[in-house]
Chains A and B, each alone.
Chain A
Amino acid sequence: MSLVNIKIDGKDFQVESGLTILEAARKCGFIIPSLCAFNNGKCSRASCRVCLVEVKGARGLVASCVYPVAEGMEISISSSKAVEARRASVELILSNHHKNCLQCEKNGHCELLEVSKMVGARDHMYEGEQTPATIDELAPGLIRDTSKCILCGRCIERCKEAQGISILGFENRGFQTIVSPVGNRSFATSPCLQCGQCVNVCPTGALMEKSEIAKVDEAFKAGKKVIVQTAPAVRAAIAEEFGEKIGTPGTGKMVAALHRLGFYRVFDTNFAADLTIMEEAHELLDRIKKGGVLPQITSCSPGWINYLEYYAPELIPNVSTCKSPHMMMGAIIKTYFAKHHDLDPKDIFVVSIMPCTAKKYERQRSQMPDDVDAVLTTRELARMIKRSGINWAKLPEEEFDPDLLGDYSGAGVIFGVTGGVMEAALRTAYYWLTGKEYGKIEFHEVRGQEAIKEADINIEGTVVKVAVTSGMKNAKVLLDQIKEGKSPYAFIEIMCCPGGCINGGGQPYVKPLFLVNEDDNILETYRAKRASVLYKEDGRQVIRQSHNNKDIQKLYKDFLGEPGSELAEELLHTSYSSDREKYPESK
């Protein structure tokens, strides 16, 4: 990599060539405010016009997010011309922004607010007509508010780059331009996966998860037994909401907070992840033995299930019929657990804390009984903790409740990261095929953040070809192979969000603007950092295979019988719709 010499505001620096001014400036200790670009990155749009700087010799101001550095370049970030230009762009954006900041759920994470402070935007500098607030709240997982949208285009790019489906695009032109699903439709009447990746990148409150906190409040008020379960990925990121560095484990404090919030039981969805492995590995071996449809594809990601039904319904026979872990958990709580404690399932209210917005949709699927009553994202849980006056910093570490569903294995923990379900399944499949545990325990072949990972797993002579992918744009490659009859795999893990649940659409925002103490390339490293939390927790567990989970063994012995039993089928498996309309008549 070659280096170039540049000058920023009179200071000399040496940076890698090929960087944009924005990237280079960040590395040199400057933060140029930006809205359409993450302010440590590249941009393909240069549309917000907030990151303008002066470059000696260039015609006019340049957008630092697209302008590459060059040898001898003299950049001025702090010249009055550049400062005033950046401020003016922000002031214009503010003149068409619904500024109910005090009530806005994005407050605290709003880049527009932060950038306004940075550039010193003046009050009501420009005023006039504003884009009317058409609020799309028909979809179970997502809310879109046009009056807060600043048309930065990040969501459009994320949808296209992560999922390859481009649900969002620009509609109309000029001042009437909005970002919306085609034809100004609702998310609910478009083939949207509800994955929430768009929410993660939105700099303002224009895209948000649909909060279900009020529902949980109601349940408490109604005197229900409110049982909470937390997905593995939540613990890998929740500490970020309280100012801790990315990659800080939050398990113990999170459990302590949940106890303080008054939940009847605090369970770990990992228990159900182990249960999923029991069922899914059984299903896989069954298919292999009986010559069933292969490759089998995992089913725990509801975003992926949406993609399946909208874009690849012909592959439904390939997909495991297992419910996702939290839905299994809900089913077991309302049957096995309720029975054991002599509770009426109607009095139980199950809340799932998930890294995911699609889970909000999933629990409402017509194929799903009402086993889970509310789904909160990691961010929503943080909001509940904050509003309850709990000081995260001073929380002790506490354990999940060891009541029937309390045990969990290391295999369950790694469900939250791409490759985790595969690895957990392999640990159990190995045992079932050979009658002994895999000596090395870990299958590193399926770990890592690559787009598509393939491995030949040799189980004492039997070679099982597997593949792991995340992000539907990547998954499409594997799905197309199956459609063409060319897939060499027996088992494929697909997670909708790139990197798996640790990067789910309900996870804490990763916005370099606010993360000044993190690495400059945090957008490239945060997934691995979060993943490491889960792999470390797995490593610390005594029990690391799902089939060795004592409470799981007891569940089968006392209640379900065998994996794949009739009761297991009824409670733990589901079906998919092959005729889901992409653009139904509006509701």
Chain B
Amino acid sequence: MVKIKSSEELIQKHEAEHKCLDKKFHCEPGKKAIVVCGGTGCLSSDSREILERFHHLIKEHHLEDKVTANIVGCFGFCSQGPFVKVFPEDTLYTKVKVEDCEEIIEKDIMDGKVVERLLFVDPLTHHKVAQQHEIPFYKLQKRDIALKGNAEINPEDINEALGQGAFLALNKALHMDPQEVIDEVLKSGLRGRGGAGFPTGRKWQFAHDVKCDEKYVVCNGDEGDPGAFMDRSIIEGNPINVIEGMMIEGYAIGAQNGYFYIRAEYPVAVARLKNAIKQCEEMGLLGDHILGTDFSFHCHIRLGAGAFVCGEETALLNSIEGKRGMPRPRPPFPAVKGLWDKPSVINNVETLANVPYILLHGSEAYASIGTEKSKGTKVFALGGKVNNVGLVEVPMGITLRQLIFDIGGGIPNGKKFKAIQTGGPSGGCLTEKDLDTPIDYDNLIAAGSMMGSGGAIVMDEDNCMVDVAKFYMTFICDESCGKCSPCRIGTKRCLELLTKITDGKGTMEDLDELKSLANVIKSNSLCGLGQTAPNPILSTMNAFYDEYVAHIKDKRCPAHVCKNLMQYKIIEDRCVGCGMCARNCPASAIAKTDIVPVGKSESMPLRVHRINPDNCVKCGLCIANCRFGAIIKD
């Protein structure tokens, strides 16, 4: 690769590559370009094989001059993948299988006709939608800051990133004083996307102000919240954008080395990041005297140790140093004494992905997006009981209603919305009354939850909130590092109380104890993991106190989730006596009675069935197999 040794060479390279990209997206007449989603979700649904099939077919049909095909980052709409997109028409095909490739090549590429059966069908209007920007899921999104380049450029090819403007922000920064860079980030109002929302510029300022020859920047990619995959997709889709953000930070605080700490469970992200670092080094964009300046910077990758707590910044530092991932007490703060006791700044992947935009477009442009105290966009991993599951980037200030019902397409099967859990195990549940709250850091905290890293799990009436609290407590109990006693023992005691309640053995005193214990853990724990661990309990107790009481006083789980408080029953009037339930029962808990089903003749062998609660293991197979809706949970 040709080295880029100066600003001028970078700009020349950008202009040349930009033309190539432009050609690809707005092809010359007769030419087309195919891109295939290369996010982890789609890869596991064979998108790599789909791409290979396209390559094979292009060769077979001698279309090499007419069409190209390559992988891109995540499209975000993961429930509809794998995606194949065709330029210049911008046609988006969903749920593509390897065997569909031939039809796409023959019909679309060769004949110029859209393959109708592979288009997205709007679940509300039942209309087919051909182009991505027409799909409601994408309409309210702003996917060009943190998710910039995702689903557009080939994440394995630095040239496409350069064509899209990679390193122009760094180039601009290198012409500024480090303090000016920090001021710009401060003015932009960017806050940490990892959870707590601490102003990024202030973090940089602390480390900048510490006098030391050796400093480090660390990128926290140890994304561990259940169901969250923002950081993974950002790295998978445009690793160079994150590298550039890290380099700008390095320049601002005076660091020459940056560490990426990435979950070992993210092999695709790690491979693309490694590849990107290698390509940057080959081009001289990482290394010594970058763009001919005095700024030198080196990137290193460390794989996560497989513990949730390693996402806590000081535990992460220990883990990088090869130690057990346990948080350090603060003070001293990492900005003073961080990695290998040197001043260090730890920023989340998404935070760094925002940085190039701020430098390139200016803090004012960035600050024009969002609310008064929360600027820019936020990426959410929208999941749970919502029609459109996937990764979304929205401007701060959008309401939860817009997120869940407009982008998310509402609750499946006509069920009623109950709550949305944000902030992962550290967050809380927001309810109906919060739906019109604009999403920003402070509003979410005021409503009893938090932004967190961006997990957003929607729940409907079938979710038991005590069970939800128990789920998160189980997770925290497993993932507590065991260092400090309130978290190690307190969360265990909480889980024991919650289990007692969901088993129907709880008392009202237990409820008081649970609350006081939760508050003890919150105030006494050493690190953020422990201090926020009781939030799922406190927020569900706050919003769904009645459900807790129902479990205790009525020995009843209103959502019919807690197995020890619920029974399966056959409604005699509805049972036709077909016996499907009994045949499928793994515990032989269902037997015939003498009762003749309503409307059946006694001469027929059909008899009403009944469940023996002593044998029933509450697996739910009978409900799933009953075609007459005769079995209910009570």
Contact = CB atoms under 8 A, between A and B. Distances in A.
Given A52-B524, A92-B490, A95-B493, A177 B482 contact: yes
A172 B329 contact: no
Interface in A51-68: 52, 60-61, 63, 66-68
Given A172-B482, A173-B478, 14 more contacts: A47-B483, A49-B486, A81-B523, A85-B524, A88-B486, A89-B524, A92-B489, A92-B490, A96-B489, A126-B517, A151-B483, A173-B479, A173-B482, A177-B482
B329 A150 contact: no
29 contacts: A43-B329, A45-B329, A45-B483, A46-B329, A47-B483, A47-B485, A49-B485, A49-B524, A49-B526, A52-B524, A61-B523, A81-B523, A85-B523, A88-B520, A88-B524, A89-B524, A92-B486, A92-B489, A92-B493, A126-B513, A127-B493, A169-B324, A173-B309, A173-B478, A173-B480, A174-B478, A174-B479, A175-B477, A175-B488
A94 to B, nearest CB: 9
Contacts of B322: none
B492 interface: yes
Contacts of A389: none
Interface string A101-130: 000000000000000000000000011110
The 10 closest A-B CB pairs, nearest first, are: A177-B482, A46-B329, A174-B480, A88-B520, A66-B329, A175-B492, A128-B496, A92-B489, A47-B484, A49-B524
B324 A60 contact: no
A177 B480 CA distance: 9
Interface in B485-520: 485-486, 488-493, 496, 513, 517, 520
Contacts of A151: 482-483, 485, 488
Interface residues of B, number: 32
A46 B526 CA distance: 7
B488 A174 contact: yes
A45 B328 CA distance: 7
B326 interface: yes
A315 interface: no
Interface of A: 43-50, 52, 60-61, 63, 66-68, 81, 85, 88-89, 92-93, 95-96, 126-129, 150-151, 153, 169-170, 172-177
B525 A49 contact: yes
A96 B484 CA distance: 13
Contacts of A175: 477, 480, 482, 488-489, 491-492
A532 B545 CA distance: 66
A63 B520 contact: no
Given A174-B480, A174-B482, A129 B496 contact: yes
A92 B518 CA distance: 12
B482 A89 contact: no
A128 B485 contact: no
Most chain B CB within a 10 A radius of its CB, from A49, A60, A153: A49
B484 A49 contact: yes
A6 to B, nearest CB: 16
A66 B331 contact: yes
Contacts of B482: 151, 170, 172-177
A31 to B, nearest CB: 20
B321 to A, nearest CB: 14
B481 interface: yes
Interface in B313-332: 324, 326, 329-331
Most chain B CB within a 10 A radius of its CB, from A43, A45, A150, A172: A45
Nearest to A68: B331
A5 to B, nearest CB: 20
Contacts of B478: 173-174
B489 A93 contact: yes
Nearest to A91: B520
B307 interface: yes
A482 B330 CA distance: 41
Given A49-B525, A52-B524, A150-B485, A170 B326 contact: yes
Contacts of A52: 524
A61 B524 contact: yes
Nearest to A49: B524
B322 to A, nearest CB: 13
Nearest to B309: A173
Nearest to A35: B485
A126 B520 CA distance: 12
B450 to A, nearest CB: 15
B44 to A, nearest CB: 28
A43 B329 CA distance: 9
B477 A174 contact: yes
Nearest to B520: A88
B309 to A, nearest CB: 8
Contacts of B309: 173
B256 to A, nearest CB: 28
B196 to A, nearest CB: 11
Contacts of B520: 85, 88-89, 92
Contacts of A92: 485-486, 489-490, 493, 520
Interface string B379-409: 0000000000000000000000000000000
Nearest to A92: B489
Nearest to A48: B485
Contacts of B496: 128-129
A93 B485 contact: yes
A296 B359 CA distance: 67
Nearest to B324: A170
Interface string B324-351: 1010011100000000000000000000
Contact of A47 (B493, B526, B531): B526
A127 B489 CA distance: 10
B329 A63 contact: yes
A43 B484 CA distance: 13
Contacts of A150: 485
A174 B520 CA distance: 17
A128 B500 CA distance: 11
A43 to B, nearest CB: 8
Interface in B451-479: 477-479
B324 to A, nearest CB: 6
Contact of A173 (B307, B523, B531): B307
A60 B523 contact: yes
B195 to A, nearest CB: 15
Contacts of A173: 307, 309, 478-482
Most chain A CB within a 10 A radius of its CB, from B489, B491, B493: B489
A150 B517 CA distance: 19
A92 B517 CA distance: 9
A170 B517 CA distance: 25
Contacts of B526: 46-47, 49, 63
Nearest to B497: A128
A13 B309 CA distance: 39
Contacts of B324: 169-170
A359 B330 CA distance: 41
